[in-house]
Each structure stands twice: as structure tokens, then as C-alpha cells.
Structure 1
Amino acid sequence: MQFLPPALRVENRIRAVRQALVKAGYTAPAVAALLQTERYSTNREEDGIVFERRLAGDSASAIAARLFHLNLDVDQVLWDRALPELPAVALEEFGLATVKGGVLRAKVRLVPHGDIFIACDPGSQSESPDHVTGVTNPAGVLADLAIRRPARLGLDLGCGCGIQALLMARHCERVIATDLNPRALEFTRLNAAINGVDNVECRLGSFFEPIAGLEFDLLLCNPPYVISPDNQFLFRDSGLPADSLCRRLVGETGLHLAEGGFAQMLISWAQPKDRPWDEIVAEWVAGAPCDAWFLHYSTEDPLTHAAKWNQPFRMADVAGFPAALDRWTAYYREQGIDQIGFGAVILRRRADGDNWVRSDKLRVGLGPAGDQVLRVFSAEDLLRGAGGDKALLATPLRLAAGHRLETTLVQGSTGRWEQVEVRLILTTGLGFQGTLDLPVAQFLAHLDGEKTVAEAATTAANESGLPSAELGRYRQSALQAVRSLLELGFLEAS
């Protein structure tokens, strides 16, 4: 499949598509407002029926959304009148649509995501084995988790539509995007051209074959992690038993990172009843030259998992849906899989010293978390470094941006309000929370990035009138809180 003729790609004329759509008001905020939902990337048929009715107007943004978001036919005259800078003949020339009998029909789904546009296969082609998905929920999770710091070389492993590669291209000098699916690479090239991105290189191949000998500063991967008995869709099925794909990727990735480089990928794992999830995934990095942070998002029973991943195809094959559920659940029984876990892993190459592994369960994500990820890794270095408590007491710290302190009061037996809980909440990133007592909360107010932990504790103790004999105990209490909050990314060194 070749959407864009090479001559047009060289001339960068395809950038006119993005410019015209933005001018027409076909942007992420506008689409969310038109459809009255932030989750407008859904492919569910019932949502499409509702969305079609919400886009019944004749505004340029509604017309663009009907064509490229819902892939509905649009009258050519109506389109040309609404978007004169992007006539139907130009869309046909770029390979994005066809014109026949005065009717404009999209060949791709083209959806705004943030300030970029992402093209993928229309939902009507979802039964094709080489179907290329767009900005799915998992893709959004990985994009939010990704570290966004300047880097020399980035890798989008299993790039699909190229969303991770395009976002990496903003802070990496060079990005390589690989995929086993040639159509995925074609979509990545198309999306790079539409968005004016010229530092992404596409390579065809499986696993790490296309990038042998290279070391990366940042590696992002949204693999076909679904545990399934099928080998039907390249974006979903690995064709490998159980969770062996993720196990292999996690075990080998560190060998392809530069020293200090990070890898972030989505994973799933087979979960027997008699083993903790973190024990299972920790085995995957045994002997790897990496520090590893595993994040657990959710766990599903076999039937729920099977239904979720076969749900998009139930309308196309109503009779086949029950058979697929039975086939998948039988496979899980044969494999001894009681549950399926889903999450992410963050790896950092560190060849010197003993590598560490930690695991956390997540409650909810609240947007970009890259800065918090870096704070957590820096905190682990500080807490595991030489010097122990003495070094930590001598370290200037401050609360990271994006937090709030909530106090819960109840009316006591005397009629007065009594404090029952103080909770510190991260309002961005991974949304961690922690409970504090009031003296520790007062101590945190003195962590201004200039005072050391010891100085802040002394200042807070004096301010509250604490007897000098209690200062040592107060410092230890403050130190314990500092350790916990550092581990979760609430604090950062100056």
C-alpha cells in the first residue's frame, strides 16, 4: 500500500493537509466538544451511531470529522465549499480519499491527537491481518508514561501507526521506527509527512533484527502483548505461547540501550493463582544489566480478557464471537492461566553495581508522567547510594510540582472539628497518594530546595515548639516520610 507518491513526499506538499484541517477547526479540542467526550478515538459501533448524529451540522469541522473520523461519505461539493484549501481532488492525489460520482470517500481514518494528526486503517478494514490501528487507549498510556528529555537516538519498536515515533521525534535527534508489518511502516511514513516530521527512519523486521549493533537512549514499545491462541492480527497476536513475547522483549531490551538509556513498554503476563504478580515479572530481568520498575495496571479473568479482545469483531461475525470466547478460554485452561495481568515496565541500562527491581500497583493515570519516572529513578539512586541516612539528611529537597494536600475533618463528640487524615496527592503523572500526620505535613512545607532535610526538620520542630529532647525522634519520623515520598516521586533534589 502506497498512500503518498514519492514525488509528493519529497515536495512536502502533504503538510497542506494538516494546515487545512487545523484551519477548518478539525482539532482535538474541537472534536471532543463536538462529540461531547474526551474518548473520541473509540471504534465501538454503538459510539459511531451516536457520533454520526452529533456531527450532523455543516461546519467545516463537522464535515471533516464525518469524513476522517467516522469515515462516512461526504458530498464533494459540500467538502470543497467547506475546505477550499484542501479540495477533494487533492485528497485523492495524496491517496487519502477517492472521488466517484461526486462523492468523497476516505481511504484512511485521520484523527487529531494533541497537536498532531494520526492516520490509520478505517474500522471497516479491521478484519485484515495487517490492519493498522490508530491512537488506542494502550498507545495513549505509553505516550503518557514516556520520558520526554533530549536524546540522541530513539527507537519505536513495533511502531504501528507511528504515534510514539512522532512524539519522540520532538526531543530525539533521530528516531528509528520498526515493525514486522509493511503497512504499519507506510502509515508511519505518511503520518510523519503529514506532520512535517523529517527525523524518523522506518525499518522492516522483527524484534531487534532491524537495529542490530545500535544502542538507544530511549526505546518505546507497544508490542502485540495479548495472550491469545490465535495468529490472526499482527497488532494483537504474537503467535508465541502465553506471555513468552513479553518475557523475551523485557529480557533482551537492556542489551540495546546505551548506558543510562531508558526503555518503556507495555506488557501482559500469565497469572496463576498461587504466585504474586511481581514475583513473575521480576524473573524476566534476572541477569539483565538494567534497573527495572514494573507497573501493574489491571488484572482480568480469562473470559473478560477474551471478550475484550474479540469484542471489536463481534458485529462482523456474530456467530463466531461465542466460538472465539470458547477457544480462548480453553487455551487459558490448557496453559494453566488463571488470570491475565496488564501493565508496563521501565528499564534503565546500568552496567555498574547491583541492579534493582521494584513493583507498584497503579490506581489511575493523570497524564504525562515522564518527569515523575525520572524522579523515581533518581530517588532510587539516592536512597540506595552510599551514606545512608546521614547523606539523606544532608540533601536539599523540595516538593515536585503538581501536588495538593487534603485534610479530612469530622465533628467530634464535643462538637469541635477533629482531624482524621492528611493526604498528599499527586495531581499529575501516575497519581500516587500518601497519608501523613500533621507534624510531617508541616515539615514538608519547609522543604524548599535550599534547606537540607535535617535543617527543614529542625526549623519545623522549633516552629511547633517541640522540646529539644524530642528532636531526634522527630527527625527520624521526617526521614521515614522523606524516604516514602521520594520513592513515589513526590520529592526531588534541587
Structure 2
Amino acid sequence: MRLTRRVTTSELRADLLAVDYTVDRLQGLWGPLADQALARDNPVPAKRALTGTAHPAAVMARLFLLGEALTDDELDAALPATGARGLRARGLLDAAGRARVEVRPYSAVDHTGVVNWWVVSDHGEMVRRGPLSPDHVLGVGGASLTLAGLVPTSPARRVLDLGTGSGVQALHASRTAERLVATDLSTRALELAALTFELSGVTTVELRHGDMLAPVAGERFDRIVSNPPFVITPRDAGVDVLEYRDGGRVGDGLLRELITALPEHLEPGGTAHLLGNWEYPAGGDGLDRVRAWVDAAGLDAWVIERERQDVAEYAETWLRDGGVHRASDEFERLVGLWLDDFAARGVTHVGFGYLTLRRPADAAAPRMARFERVLTAASAGASGLGDAIAAGFAAHDAIAGLDDAAFARMHAAVAADVTEERHFWPGSEHPSVMRLVQGTGLGRVVELDTGLGAVVGASDGELPIGVIVDAVAGLLEVDAAALAAEVLPRLRELAVVGMITLDPGEFGDPGAS
């Protein structure tokens, strides 16, 4: 479906505001159980909860979220400024009274406060009752929430939302960007993103059409945000592709291509925040592949692999995502094609994770290069992950050039969200397990030994690290130099992951003595 024409949406926006068509309102109308069921693509509890409810927001939910056919009278009563005729004029309603698109309330909280938006996308399988179309435009999902949490909330002069889809990342970026460009290869995605911005009252986004970075050739940005079409899809005529997730490259070539091109489009010190997949060849390491691409591009990096699937599980995941049911001949045929494709390249597994990449502002400075598998990182969609990673980059920059003597002169304090756990065997005087637990951000859990535990426990920002290490060495009756050699590298790590904070006033010249 193509929208019939571009028209203003001021009446529809006014109606949505007037009826309080928001996340909080809908959750209040159908309750938490129905809300959780909808997240699993089960509409029955929500439909039952809204039966007999005349609130205009309930009518909008039935139309735009649950896919019900409504009468013109119902729509005219719920949306008096727009009405059924106005919805049809905008190409949003078919002849049977069903919505042609999903208009979903979306709420977010950031450092500027709470904001309510509306995201326009295509209906998913719950409403369509069948496989997705090739030009399907995805709405708000787990990946978009994860990426939104991966982006720092600090202001940026120029921001690029690469592959904007329905516009979710651009909505978030509009809160902090001076200038904002959003691109997509899909013309339909750009049409629906434009509606998202119009309904949400966001006027600062410049939309451009094209593949990958072609629409911004010769331009640089302070921040690039992208959930690119990274899904590894067989390049076979018998496999239908979905524009929102298939980038048209062989294997994980799209991610490699994007990483390679980033230095040309980032300002010095500029960052890119991406989601991606990478292949594991037999006997090889997927993260090592990503490291090689990043090193060749000369970028700083913090890459976190959150999940790894064998190739059969990977094929099953994405076929189900596209609406292909497991109990069907088509499912078996397509799984076979996906497994043939992986076998042709000797691939056994696929990794998924988060990438924060930076063009160095100073080519001579020590590089940030972290490639890790972390199962304890903050959950998908958790806010603050991007700010935590940005703080990690800043901590790395501050201490990477310091030798141990200079680092030991700094003052450290345990971060406010970090707690210490101690576990004892019954009747034992000494703990059998000690660990630090991070409550927000990266959500790390770090095992402690006696020396590190004592140093961290005494770190309240008052004394230099070296003084505390010497004091703990005396209490434990161990050699101070040996204890320092053991704990200082671990304290550096705790600083980068945000479990201890360092006094900014002590960030001196790395060459100072």
C-alpha cells in the first residue's frame, strides 16, 4: 500500500492529543495482563478488556493496534476533527473500515523528561495473519528499544539516523540534535516516518532516500545511529527478502561495509552506535572478524556480543520473525536454503551485539579497543547504557596514558549504584564469595578477592589510590608493590565499566610526575 498523497496531519494529531491516545491511557484501559499478552502477539485479553468501552482512546486502539473494522459513526465520534473521511483521504483507512497502518503510542523518558509520540508503521503478523510483505515497515520493537538505550543522551550538533524505518531513533535524536538527517532505502519507510514525525510534532528531521551512506556522500556527523538491515539472508531467488532487515549483501558483508565507511562520515571524536550480526566460520571467532574490520578502519571501539546462535537456530528465529510458521513445508524448504548458504561459507554460528565506534580525535592517543562477550550487561531496552559506555570512553581517555605511579595518585570512589555482596558458609567467620554488583548501566558483576575488596571498600574519594593500597598491604601483611601490581589493572577496569568513579580534578597530564 502507498499513501494516496501527502497531506497535513494537524487534525489527526489534535484528535490523538484530545483523546489521550497514550501508552499510559491504554495500559489503564486494558491492564497489565493484556499489555503483556500484546507483547507476545496475543490480542485476545486486550480485545476482551475493551469490549463495551466507549472511550475514544479504546476506539483508536481497536482501529490502529488490534486491526478491527470500525464503522464511520464510531470513527467520527472518536476523532471529530478527522473522522472516517479524513482517515481515508490520508490513505490510512480502507473501504471496510480497517486501518491500513499501525499508529502506536510510544513513550520515552530521558534527561529532558517524559515525552509521548506516535509511531506509524505496518501492522505485524498479529493483525496481518500471514507473512510480511517485502516492503514491510517495522514499528517499535525490542531492537529499536535496545538501540535507543545504546545512544548517549548528550547533545550533538549533527546526527544521522541511518535506516530510519518508522523513525523511532530519529524521534529520540530530535531531543538533542541541532541538525538531524534520517535516511532509508525504502520509499515506503520514508513515507511512514514522515507521518511519524508529523503526528509527533517533530519538525527538525530531514528525510533522504538511498542505500547505506550514499544519501550523505561527502558529509560528516558527530553521531551516527543505525539499526541496519543486518540479518544474514541467503542470496537465492527462492528466498523472499524483507527490506527492513535484509541489506542485500552476502553473509555479514553489510556490517563490514558500514564499519569500513564510517571514518569518512564521522567528525574527529564522532561516534557511531549500531546493532549488528557477525558470522563465526568453523574454527574461527566472530568477534575477531569484527575486530579486524574496526582495526582496518582505524576506529576506537567497544563491542559487546550479547548472544550467539547456531545457524539452525538463527534461521528459525528470522523465518519466524518474517511470519513463516514452523509447521509448514515452506518453513522446511527455507531452513534448508539458509543452512546451505551458511555451509557454503563454512559458518557454524552467528553473533549478535552492540557496537559503539569512534573516530579518534587524536590519532596519537591510546586506542579504546574492547571486544567482549557479556551476558550480564543491562537488559534490552534498559535506559542509560549509551551514557554508561560514553562515560567508559571518557574514563579510558583519562587514564590510558597514565603509568601506574600517576594512576595511583588519583582519588577513587565506589559508584552510587554499586553494592557489595558477601556469601558465607553457615558458621564461617570469613566470606566464601565476595562480589561487586552494578545496579544500572552495564550491569556488571565482578568477583572480589581479599586485596581488591579491601581497596575498593576503602575507596571513598578521600585518599589517593596508592595510599589505600599501601594501607591495605600493611593490614594484610603482604608486599605493597605486589598488591599494587595485582589491583591497579583491575581498578582501571572498574573505572572504565563505571563501577568506581575517579575525581576529574585529578585527571592530570599523562606525562606529569
Q: TM-score range by the shorter chain?
A: 0.7 to 0.9
Q: 1:118/1:257 Cα in 2 relative to 1: closer, same or farther (>3 Å)?
A: same
Corresponding residue to 2:343 among 333, 337, 345 = 333
Q: Which runs of 5+ in 2 are unaligned?
A: 108-115, 505-513
CA distance in 2 between counterparts of 1:94 and 1:451 reads: 66
Choose from 260, 264, 270 the match for 1:255.
264
How far does residue 236 in structure 1 lie from its aligned partner after superposition? 1.9
TM-score (norm 1): 0.87
Residue in 1 that maps onto 2:387: 371
- Percent identity of equivalent pairs: 30
Deviations 1:175-201 (A, max 9, x none): 100111111111111111111111111
Deviation, structure 1 residue 273: 2.8
CA RMSD for the aligned pairs? 3.0
Matched to 2:333, the amino acid is A
Verify the 8 A CA contact 1:292 1:346 in the aligned structure 2. yes
Contact 2:139–2:166 (8 Å) recurs in 1? yes
Structure 1 equivalent of residue 118 of structure 2:
117
The amino acid that maps onto 1:249 is L
**Structure 1 pair 209–303 and aligned structure 2 pair: CA distance change class (3 A):** same
The CA deviation at 1:168 is 0.7
SS of 1:210 mapped into structure 2: helix
Q: For 2:53, which of 43, 48, 58 is the aligned residue? A: 58
Mapped partners of 2:429, 2:49: distance in 1:
49
Q: Mapping of 1:354-433 within 5 angstroms?
A: 355-363=367-375, 364-366=377-379, 367-368=382-383, 369-385=385-401, 387-411=402-426, 415-416=427-428, 418-433=430-445
Matched, 1:444 2:444: no
Matched position secondary structure for 2:43: helix
- Of the three residues 343, 359, 363, the one matched with 1:352 is 363
Q: Which moved more, 1:199-208 or 1:50-59?
A: 50-59
Distance of aligned partners of 1:75 and 1:171 in 2 relative to their CA distance in 1, 3 Å threshold? same
Amino acid aligned to 2:170 = A
User: Any idea what SS the aligned residue of 2:8 has?
Assistant: helix
Deviation at 1:131, TM superposition (A): 1.0
The 2-side partners of 1:166 and 1:95 are apart by 23
Q: Distance in 2 between matches of 1:304 and 1:58?
A: 42
The code of the aligned residue for 1:382 comes to A
Partner Cα separation in structure 1 for residue 456 and residue 277 of structure 2: 37
Provide the secondary structure at the position in 1 that maps to 2:447: strand
Inter-partner Cα distance in structure 2 for 1:392 and 1:164 = 38
Provide the rounded CA distance (Å) in 2 between the counterparts of 1:294 and 1:406: 28
- Matches of 2:37 and 2:418 in 1, distance apart? 25
Superimposed CA distance per residue, residues 38-62 of structure 1 (whole angstroms, 9 cap, x where no aligned partner): 58455x4xx2345434544515344
Return the match for 1:323 from 312, 318, 333. Answer: 333
Cα distance in structure 1, aligned partners of 2:325 and 2:222: 43
Q: TM-score, normalised by structure 2?
A: 0.84
Distance 1:89 1:469 in 2: 82
Compute the displacement of 1:484 (Å): 2.5
* Aligned mates of 1:29, 1:440 — CA distance in 2: 47
Per-residue deviation, 1:408 = 1.9
Amino acid at match of 1:165: A
Consecutive unaligned residues of structure 1, counting only runs of 5 or more, are none
Letter paired with 1:187: L
8 Å CA contact retained: 1:24, 1:83: no
Tell me the secondary structure at the aligned position of residue 197 of structure 1.
Answer: coil
Counterpart check, 1:212 vs 2:224: no
1:479 aligns with 2:488: yes
